[in-house]
Structure 1
């Protein structure tokens, strides 16, 4: 199978290079001590790349844990046969504690109320739930307040409750990817606050278990903060959390996005292109239509701003992005015809379009662009340069 063949994937498709994931995994590992664990974050369908395929690879190459956002994501991995320890980083209704226990899924314990409710429900059902204590070190999203003696006393008690098996403690930095002096000072404060909470619990005789606070950004810029485990997120996918961490470790983008030319036509001067007549030709223009649109995750804000690659040259977007189609100016590109491969994100010859560039055009971050790719775009998985699998969400098939 040739993933470059549009007839193989029909209209548009994403290519996920599993070899790049493996290289990125080892690049992050190179920042760690030998005894430091690595949790691979595969929430949000592995940032749009496909959680089961990525999780299976992470299990193969040696990751120690997986991180997800919710119970259903964890359950999906268990159903796929993934046996690595899984940490749910966010909320799970306490009524699902039976499933947490049965599937050996570890739950973030993130507030006094949640801890009490989970304990009560676990006792009612006669189960014991694994947990990691979440500390709010300054982001003010979820977590126990380490500055509250009352909350920290309760945190200490959690480790003694028979309904909970507390095996770790963690926090999350809110600006570790920023290098300005104020952000660096704030991140240092967060680390000090979290490590202080761990130290206080240890002084009370508590075995905190696995301590972790660093994501990709802090793993790259502050390897001395790795503690017992780090959480590899965006770095595993070959993207940087920000330009401030560029050049420190080699990372390779794992995803490319493609479509094909469906039609080419010549449009006379003075004609309007697309919805709302937002682009008017000033000369004879060769217009190529491609079957990808905002319903696929290619946003409307790219109107008259973005470019795609055809035959190694940039083709500017003309007019508004349609739900399922986009028009491109290919006047300057010789020989463009229906069926030609179009690179939406990725490399074509000497030229490249990155998800970082697409993110900048839409005033967002690279994570958002890959997470926004619609389920109807098939994911083609490459291993050792060959098509290893195809995941088609619409037909629920993995080939």
Structure 2
């Protein structure tokens, strides 16, 4: 109402934001009620009215507003306990290929800082992806990749451009596909964005928004 008194301002829309939409549906519905009461005093014809974010969009069936602001849902992800049952499917995978394979001896250190000393002779593979591409530095020691339908644990710290992982006892070769994010070739195992976030003690949003599309080749595939 105050804006309407200023000739140099044009009201284009009104919005609010739900702070707990992913955890508290009751509180979110209460926020909707307050917002509706607030905008009732304004002529909202031809205005953009928006409140729903990814979480509330998946369970709020009362589409009373004319725009939504989805972030996580645009990637096909939902970790909201109040939106269980949504039909979202991840739209992104990250793949690379083995660039090097070496036999390393028991007692040798691998990668920066000597953060890991090998307890046995090991076959170590390298792939060209690192924190410079948005793959989190803290993924070691819990992180894994998938090679030939098997999980392979990270060995040593993630570097700017490389990761190392244990392929001991496996039949692997240069250029074999490495799954960083997504499902295995046989679709039996998966590394989710939530897995990567948990390895790094952070949130899914941070992982997704840190991925560097100017360093990773993007390939669009129709399903």
User: Hey, what does 2:28 align to over in structure 1?
Assistant: 187
Correspondence 1:114-263 to 2 at 5 A: 156-178=1-23, 183-202=24-43, 207=45, 209-224=47-62, 226-247=64-85, 249-263=86-100
In structure 2, what is the Cα distance between the partners aligned to 1:352 and 1:329?
Answer: 18
**Pick from 103, 125, 131: which aligns with 1:288?**
125
Correspondence 1:1-399 to 2 at 5 A: 156-178=1-23, 183-202=24-43, 207=45, 209-224=47-62, 226-247=64-85, 249-333=86-170, 335-348=171-184, 349=186, 350-374=188-212, 375-382=214-221, 384=222
Higher normalized helix content (fraction of residues):
1
Cα deviation code 1:263-321 (max 9, x no counterpart)? 11111212211111111212221100111111111111111210001111111001111
Q: CA 1:358 to 1:367, structure 2 compared with 1: closer, same or farther past 3 Å?
A: same
In structure 1, what is the Cα distance between the partners aligned to 2:92 and 2:150?
Answer: 20
Higher normalized strand content (fraction of residues):
1
SS state at 1:224 partner: coil
Quote the offset at 1:329 in angstroms.
0.4
Quote the offset at 1:241 in angstroms.
4.4
SS state at 2:195 partner: helix
In structure 1, what is the Cα distance between the partners aligned to 2:158 and 2:138?
Answer: 8
In structure 2, what is the Cα distance between the partners aligned to 1:323 and 1:201?
Answer: 52
Aligned residues: CA RMSD: 2.0
| Bigger RCO of structures 1 and 2 (CA < 8 A, at least 6 apart) | 1
Aligned length: 220
Quote the offset at 1:192 in angstroms.
2.4
SS state at 2:179 partner: strand
Unaligned ranges ≥5, structure 1: 1-155, 386-399
In structure 2, what is the Cα distance between the partners aligned to 1:223 and 1:363?
Answer: 33
The 8 Å contact of residues 288 and 327 in structure 1, kept in 2 or not, is answered as: yes
Quote the offset at 1:185 in angstroms.
4.2
Cα deviation code 1:306-339 (max 9, x no counterpart)? 0001111111001111111111000132x21111
Give the TM-score normalised by structure 1: 0.52
The 8 Å contact of residues 101 and 123 in structure 2, kept in 1 or not, is answered as: yes
Unaligned ranges ≥5, structure 2: none
In structure 2, what is the Cα distance between the partners aligned to 1:165 and 1:246?
Answer: 40
The 8 Å contact of residues 25 and 82 in structure 2, kept in 1 or not, is answered as: no
The 8 Å contact of residues 216 and 241 in structure 1, kept in 2 or not, is answered as: no
Q: CA 1:226 to 1:207, structure 2 compared with 1: closer, same or farther past 3 Å?
A: closer
The 8 Å contact of residues 260 and 290 in structure 1, kept in 2 or not, is answered as: yes
In structure 2, what is the Cα distance between the partners aligned to 1:257 and 1:293?
Answer: 12
